[in-house]
Chains A and B, each alone.
Chain A
Amino acid sequence: MKLSALLICCTLIFSGAAMAKEAAPMAADVAIEKRMVAISEELRCLVCQNESLSGSHAELAQDLRREIRKMIGEGKTDQEILDFMVARYGDFVRYRPPVKPTTWLLWGGPFVLLAGGIGALIAFLRRRAKEEAAPVLSEDERRRAAALLDQSNS
């Protein structure tokens, strides 16, 4: 009990510290900050791979955001900044990698799966329609069934 209270305290203290550290480089220029966030949301943080560069608290992400700010300040275009990152970390840093032979499967794969799924669905529906079209009971069987039902009702 005591331990968990202590842990909560620690978490609160440290998260406060982390936030304070995060807020420090802001202010300078709102426009630069906005562009920096827009660019870094397109980029993967390589330390914690499922986070974007803009959302990550990893130290490398902070350094790279600083680098992006600097490049924006130097008047680089968004494309130049993306190229800078790709030149160092590869296409993997981009959440939307360019379409080329090595990424065809990545881009096309979902559509192939979708087409396969639709194909299977159509085949299934056709087969079911055929089965339903065939009379389930012959005329004779139907009469016998009716007779049996009558019997059990009375």
Chain B
Amino acid sequence: MKRFLIPLVVFVVLVFFLAMGLTLNPRDVPSPLKDKPAPAFTLPQLAAADKSFSPADMKGKVWLLNVWASWCVSCRQEHPLLVAFAKEGKVPVVGLNYKDQPRDAKNWLAKFGDPYVVSAVDADGRVGIDYGVYGVPETYVIDKAGMIRMKHTGPITPESLQKQILPLVAELSK
């Protein structure tokens, strides 16, 4: 009996670690920007290139910054959810149009709906680098003081919206 005990324990430990590895998402890299001030920028607006947008404009509000692009397939996947969420009007959603052609971006919004109160144009992706963007779409929850409170990498799912984003937004809006 004792002969089998050690291999059995080793096996169980191994299975435990492998099972843990399977449940982790390697794409989900913890952002060092959490609980740090949202990096400042001033970028032209998509709808009106002569106007600009800056995160400072949103001070005093809880808001979402959603990084999107017309070339991004996963963005289209999350888009209906975002449009429905924006209609509820709980918090403003700002778009960061990442490395896109303005004309493509405008067509895309016209076709699939525009959930954004405003979209800022990050044509060369420099602001994206400051926000640690590495896979569009990405969504940041930013609080009244302009701090990043959460980063969601990849398309928002109904589950992540209900379980993570909405409770946090409700708490921050208090």
A59 / chain B contacts, CB cutoff of 8 Å: 99, 125
- In the complex, the answer to whether B129 meets A46 with C-beta atoms within 8 Å is no
B126 / chain A contacts, CB cutoff of 8 Å: 63, 67
Cα–Cα, bound, A75→B84 (Å): 48
Cα–Cα, bound, A82→B132 (Å): 14
- In the complex, the answer to whether B135 meets A46 with C-beta atoms within 8 Å is yes
Partner of A90, one of B26, B30, B131: B30
- Give the size of the chain B interface in residues (CB under 8 angstroms): 17
B32 / chain A contacts, CB cutoff of 8 Å: 86-91
Q: Is the interface of B mostly helix, strand, loop or mixed?
A: loop
> Between A and B, how many residue pairs show CB distances below 8 Å?
38
- In the complex, the answer to whether A63 meets B125 with C-beta atoms within 8 Å is yes
Q: Is the interface of A mostly helix, strand, loop or mixed?
A: helix
Contact with A along B10-52 (1 / 0, CB 8 A): 0000000000000000100111110000000000000000000
Cα–Cα, bound, A46→B125 (Å): 15
Smallest CB gap from A70: residue in B: B126
- In the complex, the answer to whether B129 meets A64 with C-beta atoms within 8 Å is yes
- In the complex, the answer to whether A90 meets B29 with C-beta atoms within 8 Å is yes
Interface hits, A90-118 → B, CB 8 Å: 90-92
Interface assignment of A60: CB less than 8 Å from any CB of chain B: yes
Closest chain B CB from A69 CB (angstroms): 13
Cα–Cα, bound, A49→B134 (Å): 11
B104 / chain A contacts, CB cutoff of 8 Å: none
Interface hits, B93-144 → A, CB 8 Å: 99, 124-126, 129-135
Interface assignment of A47: CB less than 8 Å from any CB of chain B: yes
User: Closest 8 A-B residue pairs measured CB to CB?
Assistant: A46-B134, A88-B132, A90-B32, A92-B29, A89-B132, A63-B125, A60-B134, A47-B134
